[in-house]
Structure 1
């Protein structure tokens, strides 16, 4: 392994260590604040239908029978909790056009639509017994209209409180959540698949009021879910229409580049920038699971770890139905450079499944290291790591590996490792303190890492902490042999090792 302090470096955005808000467990699970997250995102399908005037009311969409519910927590509770715990806030604002009108109505009541494939206390999943989608009723069954002025009023209320307390509470506004899936996730109020033009029109209409009410806030979008909607619209797959007809009607440009180019043209014409951050979601399509779910047989574990390469590696051919390199972050950088230079990049949702298995933890640690390497602006894990899980300790490898606040430093240092391992290195502003996170992906074999420090100075002190899945997280390890510009360290099978170093500058 080589850590090269002579190569160009960059400052790491602290917002890559983000997590999501889970309204259903917020009150009872305080361990999310122990993971070391720097920012939290108010997002997910229900936030597309959040009614800020009703406190905690939103619609659960197809996640749970299209039910209006009150989660017992308002957006202001979320913002206040973030301030209390030293985290910044990214707030999803609905541009769908409909929000929950109360905390009790449902989209497909059995009393009106009859027996359905699945039911919960009188509400159905919108599918007939044979699986046929039922034609939805009027949106007013569950919802009330939410035009741009509804959002403008919300932001005015937020900014008024900010001014009273003298502190900003929202750093980023995200323009809704996965809009190209609305015709399935929210088909009770938006059954028609969204088009290129529909996405742009809503972005302009709602983005304009967000910018007007909070000129210094950052605006992110379009928060699309994955591969098909990086490249095509929902209308491109509409039943009864020629495949990809919407894309062909827009110069055959992939959705995201077209979207960015149109917003750049809008800024040229009006002088108003409506997007600061390109926000896309990333979920491996290689059948590795999401959240706590996912098989943990050897083949799936190895594929789970490899799937992280879809974020950054141009040589990695995705092992799913996609079947070609995704290279998401380099692709996003190219799209920005070609169509709207200067925009920042965010991965607004991602995870690799199997939270409680070491393969899930290693995939997570790999992703955090790559976010630092690729110099993106922000990333938000979905939802948040469960206490004591390998994914929890993957965050802690970068954010608080010794339980006393020691962490990955603020400047990225380029580093290289052999196949089957990774090394991610960082230094402080002065260059005298360095922290490296070293990963061994082999479940059976230990590795002997020989690490060369190129141009970093003379190695002074070495502290080593390791984690291989045992309860309690990182523990002190015996340092290996060290010389002026190198060290040797044993890496146990399936392990994360943190090297906490000091160097004397030449």
Structure 2
């Protein structure tokens, strides 16, 4: 082991060279002073996927959202499909229920919240802000019956008078505060285990298209800010700790200008609608003297499309990577690269976004959005409450899903909910992080940065489980050949005595497979073998733990002491040396508080020395 002073000096400066050899790639740990927490809510799913397959994912957040929720009437459980299905009003959300339950107020919401609570998951529930909801279940609503008409009930945010748990379904009005009160009376406040968060409706920039019978005119920026702020204030009045997610934007087009008739009134002050929404909601919050937006919520379905054939006239036929049926190789390769648009400045996807919106620059969605948050409404969290990369029955769909979950955790996304079918390779991709051993074991809570020299062909994510101090590495091989890779621990002092391996690949099919365990001494450079087109999870176990103390393992003839050390999770420590117990000098200025065991070499400068661990400044 190298001299401890020089090794940790390099660590503190975060200077790490990327090394790769012919036919191999090295993933090098890049430790920070304070390990970054991975939000457990990034492993969420939209609730329409209730079922046995979903439960095997051990997911962490359940969202009740989608187009149906915009026209949902909590008083009678009717909803409207909008343009998804002939603007049809019916009992779709409760079709599987008994006639008695269908008529119970809030039953569609209760089904979702009950399901989440049975599994110990928090709920994200959508509230209705487009102005009207379905009044009946009498089928298709014609254009002539566009709201206001007797096919719709008016939405009001606040009710004058007392709340009731059995609302009047004939008065033509539905109250949002009465719905929130119903949920509080049924489940308690959010701080008591009730509904965790509320979403300010769903994809409002599309209301004039998807819900043209409810809201035929495109909403304005002023409208969506005003109604969102008013609704958030109402929720906070009833449940101060409940979080507000909004505005559930449908995709890139809405991020840019919201397709709003009044965008020109804001474009001089803001670079895109994301910034405008944040800035205007902050103004509303400042006026109200409380935060009215806790989580900026967006949807992101990749727009990358590739030529997969020609039509009868010889014109190119394009297929979007979100398609889950095609095995076209060009589509597969595009899907493998698409997650890089979330973060990578060196990856420019081929889509209308880079052609017409970014001027040929990389999408870099997360950095762009985080910059808007920092500039216009600091401390707002980020949610991606709908996404799907397609290819569910193709290995590329699984690798892309695993890649995306790693990115969300590493880059600070607060919450995310997968939208597509829970099937095929999507299942082992989630299990890789949330149920890798079939016993509910999961990827760690603290993210450890990893330097990866070849993002086009590999991805790598690392974490620490603070409960049992295991170290986790998820490595993805996007190539069509098995690869021998290296995990470089040489500058960290980390040492492990066991490694378990789990994973899936094109060859194994859509099933997570335990690859076995190895015992021994893992330190310095550890070999990680990755099958072709695979995603693997390596679990490293530390030796017997020490609790924030130095444990002397032995000494050398030159006076060097070998010691084992475990820094407390979250603590920032300095290792100091002294000759007289009065004057102390930092030997290691920064020790990351990640809870992992390290082995150090301590070489006193004099003939004798004393050592201590102290709080770092």
Among candidates 325, 334, 343, match of residue 303 of structure 1:
334
- Within the candidate set 217, 221, 227, 1:202 is matched to 227
Q: Secondary structure at the match of 1:272?
A: coil
Q: 2:301 aligns with which of 263, 268, 283?
A: 283
SS where residue 340 of structure 2 aligns? helix
Local SS of the residue matching 2:180: helix
Please state how far the C-alpha of 1:412 moved relative to its aligned partner: 0.5
CA deviation after TM superposition for structure 1 residue 166, in Å: 9.2
Q: Does 1:441 align with 2:458?
A: no
Residue 143 of structure 1 is matched in structure 2 by: 152
1:112 equivalent in structure 2: none
Q: 1: distance between equivalents of 2:144 and 2:136?
A: 22
Any residues of structure 2 matched to 1:146-295 within 5 Å, and which?
146-149=155-158, 150-163=175-188, 167-236=192-261, 246-248=263-265, 250-251=267-268, 253=270, 254-287=272-305, 289=320, 293-295=324-326
- Structure 1 residue 345: deviation in Å? 0.8
Say if 1:90 and 1:294 are closer, same or farther in 2 by CA, change over 3 A. same
Contact 2:448 2:463 in 1 (8 A): yes
Which of residues 336, 342, 346 is equivalent to 2:383? 346
- Trace 1:24-173 onto structure 2 (pairs within 5 A): 26=50, 29-55=51-77, 57-70=78-91, 71-72=93-94, 74-108=108-142, 137-140=146-149, 142-149=151-158, 150-163=175-188, 167-173=192-198
Which residue of the partner structure matches residue 536 of structure 2? 497
SS of equivalent residue, structure 2 residue 437: coil
Alpha-carbon contact 1:302-1:359 (below 8 Å) kept: yes
Cα deviation, residue 270, structure 1: 2.1
How far off its partner does 1:83 sit?
0.4
| 8 Å CA contact retained: 1:435, 1:498 | yes
CA distance in structure 2 between the aligned counterparts of 1:165 and 1:222, rounded to whole angstroms: 20
- Aligned mates of 1:502, 1:249 — CA distance in 2: 54
Cα deviation, 1:189-248, whole Å, max 9, x if unaligned, reads 211111111211211222221121111100011110111111102235xxxxxxxx6235
Query: Distance between the aligned counterparts of 1:228 and 1:348, measured in 2?
Result: 17
Check the 8 A contact 2:502/2:514 in 1, yes or no. yes
Encode CA deviations 1:134-189: one digit per residue, 9 max, x unaligned.
67644425321111121111111111122399942211111011100001010112
Contact 2:188 2:194 survives alignment (8 Å):
no
Relative to 1, partners in 2 of residues 1:186 and 1:164: Cα closer, same or farther, differing over 3 Å?
closer
TM-score between the two structures when normalised by the length of structure 1: 0.87
| Aligned match of 2:513 | 475
Alpha-carbon distance in structure 2 between the residues aligned to 1:45 and 1:164: 26
Distance of 1:494 and 1:472 partners within structure 2:
12
**Stretch of structure 1 that moved more, 482-491 or 94-103:** 482-491
What is residue 444 of structure 2 aligned with on the other side?
A: 409
Q: Secondary structure at the match of 1:220?
A: strand
SS state of the match for residue 371, structure 1? Answer: helix
Structure 2 residues not aligned, in runs of 5+: 1-25, 95-106, 159-174, 306-318, 544-596, 600-617
Give unmatched runs, 5+ long, in structure 1.
109-133, 237-244
What are the within-5 Å matches in structure 2 for residues 390-405 of structure 1? Answer: 390-405=425-440
More strand by share: 2
Does residue 20 of the first structure (1) align with residue 46 of the second (2)?
Answer: yes
Partner in structure 1 of residue 310 of structure 2: none
Secondary structure at the counterpart of residue 406 of structure 1: coil
Larger radius of gyration: 2
Relative to structure 1, the CA distance from residue 146 to residue 315 in structure 2 (aligned partners, 3 Å threshold; closer, same or farther) is: same
> In the comparison of the two structures, how many residue pairs are matched?
465
Deviations 1:330-385 (A, max 9, x none): 11111111111111111111110111111011100000000011011101111452
Decide which moves more: 458-467 or 250-259. Answer: 250-259
In structure 1, the residue matched to 2:163 is none
Superposition TM-score, scaled by structure 2 size = 0.72
